[in-house]
Structure 1
Amino acid sequence: MTAAERLTALESLDAETLCARAETALGALVEVMNRETTYLRAGHMREATALTGEKTQLAQDYVTLARAIQRAAPRLKAEAPTRIDALRRGHEALATQMAENLRVLATARTVTENLLSDVARAAGNTARPKTYGAAGQAAKPSTESMKGISINRAL
């Protein structure tokens, strides 16, 4: 089934069923993002990363349902206005949760970058000679000394 066929099938659902599916997907997405944010705040990166697949699937499901609702909006507003209002409020809650999630992700990234930069700087500093030779010049660093580490900032 193509994406267009899935959208058409969703649009043809009765208003209550379509709205209920969207509310369920929205609630699940908000919940998984909340868990991810909680893990990130606590520094549990592995646990947060483990939620990526589930979060991606839930986001795709919600976007598909949201598109179907947008395309059937006039009918849904007439048939289920309270459900549409509830979805609008839920969508606003999702936007708030997403903003918080992105703020925590940015903080975690900054902390990680700073930590790695500090480690690289410290590793590089230990390799520099700290004394002068007999001729009054700084001794040349050993070729076997630590050269520091590199940081991939593309992530």
Structure 2
Amino acid sequence: MSVVETIRKQILKDTQFLIIPANTTKSIPNLPYGVINVTSPFIKDRGQDIETVEEVDSKLYLKRTETHKETLSLTIFAEDEEAAREHAKTIHKWFIFFGRTFLQDQGIVVIGVGNIEARTTFLLESYEYKQGFDVQIRLSDEYQQEIENIDSIGGI
């Protein structure tokens, strides 16, 4: 399951607030609801990536572990400005405190949660009431490939 799906499902479970993925052709739900978008899918993290050699069942594997950051943008839609602000505060608190343990258990570390900002727009004859904020997270990726055992190279 993707990071976005994991977060969406847990927010719904913990807060009963629906967040949908951004940039989808699915039908828009009734208000209130939120939208989540990955605005920066890979930001190289500082520090050195780790490479190790491991033996498993007499086979050698080169394993690489690297960390990177992602930026998520959340926008909350509601019937009016005040409702949008209150729902945004609820989700904001989830990232700062209530969801922190769950996220850490999934290998997702919240680095920073931005300020809640007005994102309301005027549409022809009415307003679309929105509040939003960004969240930066750190993730770890591990991958490996089998390598030849040095003892077997050249008939040694």
- TM-score by structure 2 length? 0.27
Which one has the bigger strand percentage? 2
- TM-score by structure 1 length? 0.28
Which one has the bigger helix percentage? 1
